[in-house]
């Protein structure tokens, strides 16, 4: 799809939502109520017919059966349409609100960064070192306030990977706040309700008391469900740990990307 065609299509889609047209796509009339949802459903059906394949031949075959082919939409997924309009991608029906579009490149970058930090530890057991101070710098106002640093470490990983967490992207040093942010942003899933991915933030609740106690990130997940993590402030160090799929210590996960 060329630039002008794409711009025209954006205008048409905005008209369907009642928004003003953009760019050169002017004068598009508002569609009847429900038309936007109907077209999205048709688009999804087309993608289903192609088996979710990115193969041009498969998509072209599906496009012939789709009433949307006149708009040149075979190259646009439902998620792409939402993104082009600046709207949040819907996650209805996904476990815990986990989006299939997350947990990818950002998560991998977070894992790679965490692996490079393995072995970083406190000097004197006082939640402080020059490197830990760097972790705190990713949380607004925390650089010169030493304290338990597991959430500071996670905030630093996310910011360094290009996806800062917390309200306004300001990071956080308090695990319950991190959990609350994940739930508010529809990024949280209870342990056992959805498969974690590398780079997902782990929220721990030691002993199942109901309060978030500690955090880290997922490094990898075995076929049997064993979760391998990298955690800051684990015995005063950045280190690896692992947990069985049936553990009660993991409360849930927050997906960053």
- CA–chain centroid gap for 158, Å, is 11
Q: All domains of the chain, ordered by start, with CATH?
A: 3-90 (no CATH), 105-254 (3.90.1720.10)
Q: Is the pLDDT of residue 55 over 70?
A: no
DSSP 227: E
DSSP 219: E
pLDDT in tens, 2-36: 555 555 665 665 565 555 444 443 444 444 556 55
DSSP 121: B
Q: Is the pLDDT of residue 197 over 90?
A: yes
Q: Is the pLDDT of residue 256 over 70?
A: yes
pTM above 0.75, yes or no: no
Instruction: Return the sign of the alpha-carbon dihedral for residues 36, 42, 43, 44.
Output: positive
pLDDT in tens, 84-137: 555 555 544 344 444 443 457 899 999 999 999 999 999 988 999 999 999 999
Spatial separation of the C-alpha atoms in residues 196 and 191, rounded to whole Å: 8
Contact 132, 234 (CB under 8 A): no
Task: Give 24 or 1, the one with higher predicted confidence.
Answer: 1
Average pLDDT score over the chain: 76
Return the percentage of the chain with pLDDT > 90, whole number. 54
């Amino acid at each position: 799809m060329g630039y002008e065609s794409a711009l025209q299509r954006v205008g048409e889609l905005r008209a369907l939502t009642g928004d003003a047209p953009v760019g050169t796509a002017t004068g598009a009339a508002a569609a009847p109520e429900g038309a936007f949802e109907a077209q999205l459903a048709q688009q999804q059906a087309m993608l289903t017919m192609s088996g979710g394949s990115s193969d041009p031949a498969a998509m072209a075959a599906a496009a012939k059966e789709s009433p949307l082919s006149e708009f040149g939409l075979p190259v646009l997924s439902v998620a792409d349409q939402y993104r082009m309009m600046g709207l949040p991608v819907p996650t209805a029906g996904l476990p815990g609100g986990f989006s299939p579009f997350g947990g990818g490149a950002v998560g991998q970058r977070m894992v790679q960064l965490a692996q490079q930090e393995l072995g970083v530890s406190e000097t004197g057991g006082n939640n402080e070192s020059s490197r830990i101070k760097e972790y705190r710098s990713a949380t607004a106002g925390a650089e010169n306030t030493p304290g338990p640093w597991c959430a500071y470490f996670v905030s630093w990983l996310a910011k360094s990977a290009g996806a800062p967490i917390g309200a306004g992207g300001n990071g956080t040093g308090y695990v319950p706040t991190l959990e609350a942010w994940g739930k508010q942003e529809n990024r949280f899933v209870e342990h056992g309700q959805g498969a974690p991915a590398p780079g997902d933030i782990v929220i721990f609740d030691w002993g199942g008391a109901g309060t978030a106690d500690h955090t880290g990130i997922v490094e990898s997940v075995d076929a049997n469900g064993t979760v391998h993590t990298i955690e800051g402030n684990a015995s005063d160090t950045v280190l690896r740990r692992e947990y069985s799929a049936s553990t009660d210590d993991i409360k849930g996960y927050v997906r960053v990307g």
